[in-house]
Amino acid sequence: MAKQTPRTLSGFMELLPAPQRQMERIMEILRETYSLYGFTPLDTPVIESSEVLLAKGGGETEKQIYRFQKGDADLSLRFDLTVPLAKYVALHYSDLTFPFRRFQIGKVYRGERAQRGRFREFYQADIDVIGDGKLSILNEAEIPAIIYRTFSALGLKRFRIRVNNRKILNGFYASLGLSDKAGDIMRTVDKLEKIGPEKVQTILTEDFAVSPEAAREIIGFISTGGGTEEVLSALESRRGPNETFDQGLDELKTVVRYLGAFGVPAENFNLDLTIARGLDYYTGTVYETVLLDHPEIGSVCSGGRYDNLAEYYTEKQLPGVGISIGLTRLFYVLGEQGMLNPELPTAPADVLILPMTEDLSAAIALATQLRDNGVRAQLHCEEKKFKQKISYADKLGIPYVIFLGEDEISAGVVACKDMATGEQTKLDAGATIYRIKAGLDARNKGFVIRE
Amino acid sequence: MAKQTPRTLSGFMELLPAPQRQMERIMEILRETYSLYGFTPLDTPVIESSEVLLAKGGGETEKQIYRFQKGDADLSLRFDLTVPLAKYVALHYSDLTFPFRRFQIGKVYRGERAQRGRFREFYQADIDVIGDGKLSILNEAEIPAIIYRTFSALGLKRFRIRVNNRKILNGFYASLGLSDKAGDIMRTVDKLEKIGPEKVQTILTEDFAVSPEAAREIIGFISTGGGTEEVLSALESRRGPNETFDQGLDELKTVVRYLGAFGVPAENFNLDLTIARGLDYYTGTVYETVLLDHPEIGSVCSGGRYDNLAEYYTEKQLPGVGISIGLTRLFYVLGEQGMLNPELPTAPADVLILPMTEDLSAAIALATQLRDNGVRAQLHCEEKKFKQKISYADKLGIPYVIFLGEDEISAGVVACKDMATGEQTKLDAGATIYRIKAGLDARNKGFVIRE
């Protein structure tokens, strides 16, 4: 028979078993951490009606969307988890209780040009809090705590949560009479770090007809650096240009005020006036998260406060705040950087049982007992040489091998070998299980990411 | 602004938060149980190249497939998890260690005619063991144990795993000189329970030109009923027609022999010679699982042994055995039958904290402490009346509410109300956490399914 060459589409991540286990661990940690903050898991369809998914219309994403006909239906694959959330909240509004806090970890699709480290199918891990009409600033203040706990639980230490408030930016540009150019200006000053202040000044004055004085003023303002207290007092000294600016400053001060109570250390946080995060959508606090030793990756967790989640579907005012982790890309980068801890077990089983008797009853009963006690056990009964079976455990990194022959069965013991140390014990089943579980606890102590 | 009516496509399950939590619990139990047997989690793309996915070609499924162009690429959404597994194993053959044991819980797509309880996007939860060239019968013998533990862990008691062996059927039909009609005959006798032996006899003789003697012989054989031992001895009395029959019988006896050691009670198992499960693919033991009080649902977990997983992709002989649960449909049916235990908590948080002071620091610090101790805590700081906040906890089923006012803060205690009993305690934070965790343990004791 002619064979079809097996292949996986480029831009689609397909992991081998060991890295897949690492990915699963990361997802478990995200689910656990998000749950600690009262977010409920959600799952929405990958396919939506195109008119629903593209209600916002236009934009750069539209070209990238996987869109197709099936029968009479015009369908699209979701390209993020925010639009499906907006649809969900508008559709199920009367069945939901607000504030509505949900997390979702799911695949999204964008037909980007394929290149190394860019994916067409990728996981996003999102949380959002949606209010009905209003939403307390406390939800914005809580986001850094969630980011901090999540990244710490993954094993990261050297990261920084960078925070700004869009009201401060909008108020500031309004005070210069530049509200209508705010978008262009934000896009430009976003490049400050990369291209330097002179070039930013040139672009502002030449491309966007900002006066040289205003351009200098903007650069001076945006460059306000230093620790959290310094930035706040610099902003405080500018208080008063308009209500928007002052409200943004008050919000920012509330966010900063509760960092300690939320358990966020000062070194993992800073205020950064260059951050704007998209142009139309965000209206209050905005967030980015950078790995200090890998600034080239850019932000690994971003988001912000918005006023109107579902404006394309409902008249209801639904303000919210959310963040998103581009999980597939993050996982790829961590792997490239050698930051996935290879010491954490990735084996499919904790114990490999090698029966040495014709009758397998005793070996099977032992496997059943191990499983009853939460130990992942695999029986190896294939026609292979002893050496090959040991090599099987070795290749998969299975930490314990149990041999069960006539002698052990009649003596009521189990021969159990620790594959790392070579140490072998002959104990009864109960004591063996106890030893294995203690060993597994020790092996599973590390973090999934190491710096 | 004109609004787009929000809607979810028909045939696509989108759950409200409480049932979603139940679905997540079921998935967690499947992951845990499958892991106990040494299966490793796998995740493959939802989209594959059409030529790869449809390498087998033709068939009834092809019309149902979501297939579309993106640029030059002819793409399809996976319609099961078996074809992607075959591709995966063929593609990554040299990186895998055999026997390769994997589980996968993922969405698949079939554009079936939409009707109640039929889904176009649905989860399958599969396990497979793949051998390289050979695979021990023990893997087939282990499958009933996995099904038993899985369904028991979900809370089901009244289910039965029905087992047959295709070699017995093939050997039997060969002994009647009916090998070339075996497919048609199996399809017909499959309806024995529904249409009765007379109609089966008529179809066999009139539609498929089986002689009346052979037809009687077939019906007599297939109707062999009774307990496991009775069926086995009836089969034993027929031993000898050919090698295939005898090998099938030996395999079946091995499966039965180890049930006890595998911990499968006799009442959850039976041999059923009517089971064939598809025509080309399975070659050895085959499995179905029925809920005794809901036979109308059909099999909720099915599978079997096959000889050649990846024949469309590789010359390698890759035998295997696997089972699949149609999770979305099962979940739907359980819901319809009122079998999802409403007493298991589905709240997004364990505790709702109501701060009663202007300064939120103490309330936030308490929330942080709860989370540090693994308690899911939500702060409620919205501008709402006290009664509305209590009603929020009520609606979401949050089991504990904590009030934190000046008095409590200065006394170093926490007022914590059990929403079910109304009992209120004033204890320090540590003792409160202890009480909450004990209460949560008690609440989470039940099973997700109740009969």
Nearest CA to A3 out of B372, B161, B311 is that of: B311
Q: Which of A15, A99, A382 sits opposite B99 (nearest CB)?
A: A382
What is the distance in angstroms between the Cα of B211 and the nearest Cα belonging to chain A?
A: 36
Instruction: Give strand ranges (E) for B20-167.
Output: 40-41, 47-49, 67-70, 73-77, 100-109, 121-130, 159-165
pTM of the model: 0.96
Q: Is the Cβ pair B45, A12 closer than 8 Å?
A: yes
Is the pLDDT at B374 greater than 70? The verdict is: yes
d(CA B192, CA A5) in angstroms, rounded, equals 42
Average confidence score pLDDT of chain A:
95
Average confidence score pLDDT of chain B:
95
Q: Is the Cβ pair B20, A42 closer than 8 Å?
A: yes
pLDDT digit string, tens, across residues B22-54? 999 999 999 999 999 999 999 999 999 999 999
What's at B70, amino acid-wise?
A: K
Greatest Cα pair distance in chain A: 93
pLDDT of residue B219: 93
* Owner of token pair 């693994």: B374
Q: Is the Cβ pair A311, B14 closer than 8 Å?
A: no
Alpha helices in A355-427 (DSSP H): 361-372, 386-396, 406-411
- Contact residues, A window 380-439, toward B, CB-based 8 Å cutoff: 381-383, 392, 395-396
d(CA B388, CA B392) in angstroms, rounded, equals 6
pLDDT digit string, tens, across residues A38-51? 999 999 999 999 99
Residues of A in contact with B90 (CB under 8 A): 6
B27 near A CB under 8 A: no
Residues of B in contact with A97 (CB under 8 A): 392, 395-396
Cα-to-chain-centroid distance, residue B2: 43
Q: Is A255 helix (H, G, I), strand (E, B) or coil?
A: helix
What's at B250, amino acid-wise?
A: D
pLDDT grade, residue B225 (50/70/90)?
confident
A103 near B CB under 8 A: no
Question: Is-cis flag, bond preceding B99, omega within 30?
Answer: yes
Q: Which of B16, B312, B377 sits opposite A4 (nearest CB)?
A: B312
B262 near A CB under 8 A: yes
pLDDT digit string, tens, across residues A86-118? 999 999 999 999 999 999 999 999 997 878 888
Q: Is the Cβ pair B42, A75 closer than 8 Å?
A: no
pLDDT of residue B279: 60
DSSP string, B151-215: HHHHT--SEEEEEEEHHHHHHHHHHTT-GGGHHHHHHHHTTHHHHHHHHHHHIIIIIH---HHHH
pLDDT digit string, tens, across residues B136-166? 999 999 999 999 999 999 999 999 999 999 9
pLDDT of residue A281: 85
Contact A325, A301 (CB under 8 A): yes
- Contact residues, A window 58-77, toward B, CB-based 8 Å cutoff: 66, 68-71, 73, 75
Q: Is the Cβ pair A3, B261 closer than 8 Å?
A: no
Residues of A in contact with B5 (CB under 8 A): 52, 313
pLDDT digit string, tens, across residues A149-167? 999 999 999 999 999 999 9
The nearest alpha carbon in chain B to A121 belongs to: B45
pLDDT of residue A58: 63
pLDDT of residue B209: 92
Is the pLDDT at A1 greater than 80? The verdict is: no
d(CA B93, CA A342) in angstroms, rounded, equals 22
The nearest alpha carbon in chain B to A352 belongs to: B38
d(CA A68, CA B241) in angstroms, rounded, equals 55
Q: Which of B4, B20, B109 sits opposite A43 (nearest CB)?
A: B20
Is the pLDDT at B6 greater than 80? The verdict is: yes
- Contact residues, A window 326-345, toward B, CB-based 8 Å cutoff: none
Is the pLDDT at A192 greater than 90? The verdict is: no
pLDDT of residue B1: 67
Mean pLDDT of all residues in B102-108:
98
- Higher pLDDT, residue A440 or B194: A440
B48 near A CB under 8 A: yes
CB-side exposure of A61: number of CA atoms within 13 Å?
15
pLDDT of residue B58: 63
Mean pLDDT of all residues in B306-328:
96
What is the distance in angstroms between the Cα of B188 and the nearest Cα belonging to chain A?
A: 31
Count of A-B CB contacts under 8 Å: 258
Nearest CA to B53 out of A9, A112, A110 is that of: A9
- Contact residues, B window 345-374, toward A, CB-based 8 Å cutoff: 348-349, 352, 360-362, 364-365, 368, 371-372, 374
Radius of gyration of chain A from Cα atoms?
28
Contact A286, A208 (CB under 8 A): no
**Residue B308: left if φ>0, alpha if ψ -120 to 50, beta else—which one?**
beta
Residues of B in contact with A381 (CB under 8 A): 136, 138-139
Q: Is the Cβ pair A372, B263 closer than 8 Å?
A: yes
pLDDT digit string, tens, across residues A401-449? 999 999 999 999 999 999 999 999 999 999 999 999 999 999 999 999 9
pLDDT of residue B113: 80
Is the pLDDT at A195 greater than 80? The verdict is: yes
pLDDT digit string, tens, across residues B119-141? 999 999 999 999 999 999 999 99
Residue partners of B238: CB distance under 8 A and separation at least 6: B172, B221, B245
What is the distance in angstroms between the Cα of B414 and the nearest Cα belonging to chain A?
A: 17
pLDDT of residue B141: 98
pLDDT of residue B183: 85
DSSP string, A200-215: HHHIIIIIH---HHHH
Nearest CA to B43 out of A442, A361, A331 is that of: A331
Mutate to test the interface with A, among B28, B368, B375 (most CBs of A within 10 A): B368
Cα-based distances in Å from A254 to A5, A23, A257, A450, B369: 59, 35, 5, 33, 20
